[in-house]
Amino acid sequence: MGVEQLSDLTLVALVLVAFIAGFVSAIAGSGGLIVLPVLLTAGVPPLNALATNKFQSVCGTLTSTINFLRKGHLDLASVRGTVIYALVGAALGTLTVQQISPELLKQILPFILILLAIYIALSPRMSDSDHEPRWSRNRFDCLVGGGVGFYGGFLGPAMGSFYAVAYSALRGYNLRRATAHTKPLVLTVNFTSLTLFILAGHVWWKLALMMAAAQVVGARLGSQLVIDRGAALVQPVLIGVTLLLALKLLVFP
């Protein structure tokens, strides 16, 4: 089967879904939660669905990253070390998942996500105000950058949410700034996976490019809303997406 076997109506639906995913992902991450099931339902084989989703997701995340950077909410110099550790962690996670089944983590992940949503809802650090950092940059880069990067390569759901909460809780960033700084990290982890998919020839390029164009528009609008509205937008969307992902994993593991 190839992309030419998808109907025009299906292609239009997939492009619309990519736009929605780009918008949501720019705010709270987890756009793959929206796109991947729809690709599979449309009849795209699993490996091709994963690869095509990864390509359009990377394009959307890159758009968000550039917008946050241009508007002054992202300091690339401060995130350089975190990106390096995230890259190493993602590579190790990808290698590890080929040797060890992630079944145990899949079983406990929904409950971790529910606790994460409760923390986001109740913590005073989830706000528009910066706070005193609890961890040094070096400690954060190594343990959070590398640790969540490893998780991203090993399993992946809600990786952006974990990074955003860590930035707020441990580095004292406000939610707007925390969201901005997750983008180059998620981009690094996903680009690592995408490179492997491209080399293996699994991307359906026509579909990927169509969805990427829509993802870019959605990501641009979503990231601009984060800049304009801050925690008033990010906090409820982050809670909603995290709980929906937990529910999805519980009902459809």
The per-residue pLDDT for range 32-86, each reduced to its tens digit, is: 788 988 998 999 998 888 889 889 999 999 999 999 999 999 999 999 999 999 9
When pLDDT is cut at 50, 70 and 90, the band that residue 204 belongs to is: very high
The per-residue pLDDT for range 166-199, each reduced to its tens digit, is: 999 999 999 999 999 999 999 998 888 888 889 8
Domain housing 120: 3-251
Instruction: Specify the pTM.
Output: 0.89
Phi, psi dihedral angles at 229 (to 5 degrees)? -115, -20
Sign of CA dihedral 49, 116, 59, 82: negative
- What domain count does the chain have? 1
Q: What angle do CA 53, 55, 57 make, to 5 degrees?
A: 65
What is the number of residues in the chain? Answer: 253
List the single range of 42-51, 214-223, 224-233 with lowest mean pLDDT.
Answer: 42-51
List Cα–Cα distances, 150 to 36, 97, 128, 169, 191, in angstroms.
21, 10, 29, 20, 14
Predicted pLDDT at 239? 93
- What would the 3-class secondary structure string for 142-209 be? HHHHHHHHHHHHHCCCCHHHHHHHHHHHHHCCCHHHHHHHHHHHHHHHHHHHHHHHHHHCCCCHHHHH
User: Is-contact 58 211, C-beta < 8 A?
Assistant: no
